[in-house]
Amino acid sequence: MFTNKEIENIRREFPFLKLKPNGKNIVYFDNGATTQKPREILENIQNFYETENGNPHRGAHYLAMKSTEVYENARQKVADFVGAKKASEIVFLRNATEALNLIAYSYGLNNLSEGDEIVISIMEHHSNLVPWQQVARKTGAKLKYLYIDEDKQIPFSEIEEKVTEKTKILSITGASNVVGTNPDIEKIVKYVRENSRAKIILDGAQLVPHRKVNVSELDVDFLAFSGHKMYSALGIGVLYGKEDILNEMEPFLTGGDMIEYVYEDHTTFLNAPQRFEAGTANVEGAVNLAAAIDFVNKYGMERIDEYERYLTDYCYEKLIKLEYLEVYTTSNKNRAPVISFNFKEAHPHDVASILDTYGIAIRSGHHCAQPLHRFLGSNFSCRASFAIYNTVEEIDYFVDHLEDVRRILGIES
């Protein structure tokens, strides 16, 4: 667990904390959407452009080779971070959404047909839902949902019922961005392997930034995540895929940097990862993601996880006691650092706008999870989500101002 002194020091590394929106100290609780960046990550961008900028994999001059070197070093760092066996299993893309689409289009469209089934959970973010709807629509495969119980957990009977030998894809979130649920991926993978030949995809967008993930130990076929939810710059994301599967997949985008030989009438393609990295790569993003990995490793994922769970438990226990709120986050303490809730008598946008006048940033809306919200009986919610620089004092400040929301909106006690 971090000491107060350590948290103070961590907070000093984040320039955004000097902001004073509406004249108030900023309390940033929208980390599930994107995290703020520490000074070393910001400086890393400038350093890259001052000393390492070139077009990788092309050219024999110093900067072309330098950018290739830092790009490939970043790939190795990501591979080590997620426990991939080889750096070539790491594909750099824009974000988790692009990674999930790549799997759906390159693998799904080419390997599924009528009679096949795709299994996802009702908790999925649209990025791990809409691409599978598209695959189902185009191939005739059937899309099935794993539903959750009252405590927002997937009953194992759902897996036993929905996963069959017809299942070709099981794509599931490692952590819900709304209800915080962390499905038991190990147990699910074991069952899926024993009862189907499905490819298993883990949406790690809300998992990888908060917990140690090891793809080899979990034995998932694919993992997707975004750097920007883990202190790195926007525009860089990762697809992990098992080497043999990646190399059998059709390229998603074609063009420069991914070909072996191009003839007038046909082309042969490089193996992964280049196979899926058409065009000039986002070297700055990859290098920046590597710096973000150094940043979290400096503190240790276990300690980050422990601290964020402490914040989440603290906030959850406070909110659950307020009878004018409905809290959607699971009560299970094995959960992601997100607390979703609604005022029984106020619209989330009103709540978020009023909190903003106190410098508090929460998310309001459907959080790209409309089917889940409908399942929960609401169209939208408020969400507070935490990161390493948040504190219990900020949570106290936030909870205190929930009363102001009621007062300003004229909600009777």
Ligand X SMILES: Cc1ncc(COP(=O)(O)O)c(C=O)c1O
Q: What amino acid positions are annotated as catalytic residues?
A: 368
- Angle at CA of residue 262, ends 258 and 267, nearest 5°: 75
Q: In sequence order, what are the beta bridge partners of 381?
A: 365
**Position 282 contacts ligand X (CB under 6 A):** no
Residue 279: count of CB within 10 angstroms of its CB = 11
For the record, the structure tokens of 197 come out as: 């030949």
Give least dist CB 66 to ligand X, A: 28
For residues 337 and 386, the answer to whether their CB atoms sit within 8 Å is yes
Could you say whether residue 232 binds ligand X (CB under 6 A)? no
Contact predicate 285/227, CB 8 Å: yes
Q: Hey, what are 231's tokens?
A: 């202190």
Which of these ranges, 121-129, 182-190, 214-222, 371-379, lies near ligand X under the rule CB under 6 A?
121-129
* Cβ distance to ligand X smaller for residue 27 or 96: 96
Least Cβ distance, residue 123 to ligand X (angstroms): 8
Give the residue, chosen from 203, 221, 308, 394, that forms a contact with ligand X under the rule CB under 6 A: 203
Q: Give the per-residue contact string, 348-387, with ligand X (x = CB under 6 A; - = no).
A: --------------------x-------------------
For the bound state, the minimum distance from the C-beta of residue 34 to ligand X, rounded and expressed in Å, comes to 8
185: contact with ligand X by CB under 6 A:
no
- Residue 185's Cβ-count burial label (10 Å; 0-12, 13-18, 19+) is buried
Structure tokens at 48: 């890259």
Q: 348, 381 in Cβ contact below 8 A?
A: yes
User: Which range touches ligand X (CB under 6 A), out of 41-49, 66-74, 81-89, 200-208?
Assistant: 200-208
The verdict on 330 binding ligand X (CB under 6 A) reads: no
For ligand X, the binding residue among 84, 122, 141, 205 (CB under 6 A) is 205
Residue in 82, 90, 96, 382 binding ligand X, rule: CB under 6 A: 96
Applying CB under 6 A, the span of 19-27, 65-73, 199-207, 405-413 interacting with ligand X comes to: 199-207
Closest CB 176 distance from ligand X, rounded Å = 7
Residues 382, 122: Cα–Cα separation, whole Å: 19
The helix or strand, by DSSP H or E, that contains position 319, with its residue range, turns out to be helix 301-320
Residue 413 tokens read as: 């006690």
Q: CB 181 → ligand X: shortest distance, Å?
A: 11
Query: What phi, psi does 259 have (nearest 5°)?
Result: -100, 160
* Nearby residues of 376 by Cβ (< 8 Å), 6 or more positions away: 178, 179, 328
* Binding piece for ligand X, criterion CB under 6 A, among 41-49, 112-120, 125-133, 322-330: 125-133
Taking alpha carbons only, the member of 294, 286, 292 closest to residue 70 is 286
Q: Is 181 in the site for ligand X (CB under 6 A)?
A: no
**Chain positions contacting ligand X, by CB under 6 A:** 95-97, 125, 127-128, 173, 177, 203, 205-206, 226, 368
